Structure 1
């Protein structure tokens, strides 16, 4: 084993030990807060994940802010399990997660403590229950994170957004829609040890396909310090969107634009390629977004 590999393994072991040393004592604290204070139960995971990011060596470079004092649907691209602590460190949030996450050892406990909403995409009735829960949370003023691609990518592309995932919150079907605002967050892992991540290296941080989580997490922990850049769009009232397809199309366009903007300082060969949405492919046309326009 080389010196670099040995150093990386030692670092990963130290980070993992510190993570469990922080997390295990705090899990019953959050469980208690869920019973006694909704406000504290929202904010405590935000503080906790900021500490987790420090332990992992993840540095956040943030442009924009998540709106306060209003229910927010935060629509994001999805690259890695790292997105969870990163976005939780950005603001007090809860996630919409696939049902399978609820069955993962330990991870499921953390997800439930953060009040995640689990969606069974194979059953319509279950999806309806999840939609009701999302609606309820937004009415309570929560910030709900939706990974609109429906899965994670290798970090070199933004996958088409799935319009079905927007059904719970789109248009006039959502009670008090005039109070809900929509924001997008483009999340890009840009540097390792201060060195720009190239297109070939980016999948090292992405967790996608049939990758095994334990080995991938170990590799990330061995890598060293990571810089993630997050660009948050200005809030737009949910009521301004005609329906779920309109919301999906415009938010997808905004995320693609902002992902490219984060990487624009690099050579053209390092820019993230984009894939047109389902609607755009059918129309065979992508409408360009002018700099003077709002994110929609």
Structure 2
């Protein structure tokens, strides 16, 4: 078993609860149509790469989340410039655009994502660092690639749990990705992701777990009424404060799985009225 290939006990049947209120089928179809149009637009613009302004990327990610009917609430600290490792708990494919809305970053993803329709092409063109999770021998090279990207001043976003969980339970952070932050001498910024329903209920409809398929998950999210994504951007862990990857992983994990942090909300680095960024 590779260090990149942990398993989670969460399954769609055991963990994903149907939403108490669903939107009409025609509206869900319109949501998926809007998402597809945004993804195709992203693919068309992806050859421009780093020439696309970061603010445009953030706005596109927020539009993608909103198009499928999810309201995003982003609170917390601003993401610093320069090399940065963003780490978060992993619940859904929605986690990727939500993290990118915090700060555009190169994602760390499994090679299987390349085969996803439309989204796989966008991920590859967007500079995703793909992991061969079933090859332990590839681990040192992957860590070196991540460290190299961080040294150039890029942000890299990773989900150290290595697998999606339903949000009620959390996995243990794998340590390898934290070695890259240590090697590059960059800060680590934990981000906590939670999904709930607008009426206060549990939002497990967003979970993408077990044998769930991407199309089934997309349809379930599109049919869910009042789904809210809460993104808590926590203070950075400065380089040099932890001497090894185990200590760094153990410092970051409780932040993403523990009680909610309370911060002043920020919009693109500036205080936001009302304490939230809503997409």
TM-score (norm 1): 0.75
TM-score (norm 2): 0.79
1:230 corresponds in structure 2 to 231
Supply the distance in 1 between the matched residues of 2:95 and 2:118 (Cα, whole angstroms). Answer: 17
Asked if 2 retains the 8 angstrom alpha-carbon contact of 1:161 and 1:249, the reply is yes
Higher relative contact order (CA 8 A, sep 6+): 2
How far apart are 1:42 and its partner, in Å?
A: 5.5
How far apart are 1:153 and its partner, in Å?
A: 0.3
Q: 1:196 to 1:183 in 2, by over 3 A?
A: same
Residue 13, structure 1, aligned to residue 14, structure 2? no
Supply the distance in 2 between the matched residues of 1:112 and 1:70 (Cα, whole angstroms). Answer: 22
1:187 corresponds in structure 2 to 193
Supply the distance in 1 between the matched residues of 2:34 and 2:178 (Cα, whole angstroms). Answer: 38
Name structure 2 gaps, 5 residues minimum.
Answer: 1-20, 263-279
Residues 120-139 of structure 1 aligned to structure 2 (within 5 Å): 120-139=132-151
- Please identify, of 39-48 and 221-230, the stretch whose mean Cα deviation from structure 2 is larger: 39-48
Asked if 1 retains the 8 angstrom alpha-carbon contact of 2:175 and 2:246, the reply is yes
Residues 1-296 of structure 1 aligned to structure 2 (within 5 Å): 7-31=23-47, 33-34=48-49, 38-40=50-52, 44-170=56-182, 174-175=183-184, 177=185, 180-191=186-197, 194-198=198-202, 202-257=203-258, 260-261=259-260
**Which has more helix, going by share of residues?**
1
Asked if 2 retains the 8 angstrom alpha-carbon contact of 1:66 and 1:232, the reply is yes
Asked if 2 retains the 8 angstrom alpha-carbon contact of 1:53 and 1:59, the reply is yes
- Please identify, of 58-67 and 206-215, the stretch whose mean Cα deviation from structure 2 is larger: 58-67
Q: 1:39 to 1:182 in 2, by over 3 A?
A: farther
Name structure 1 gaps, 5 residues minimum.
Answer: 264-296
Q: Deviations over 1:69-106 (max 9, x none)?
A: 22111110000111112222222122111122123332
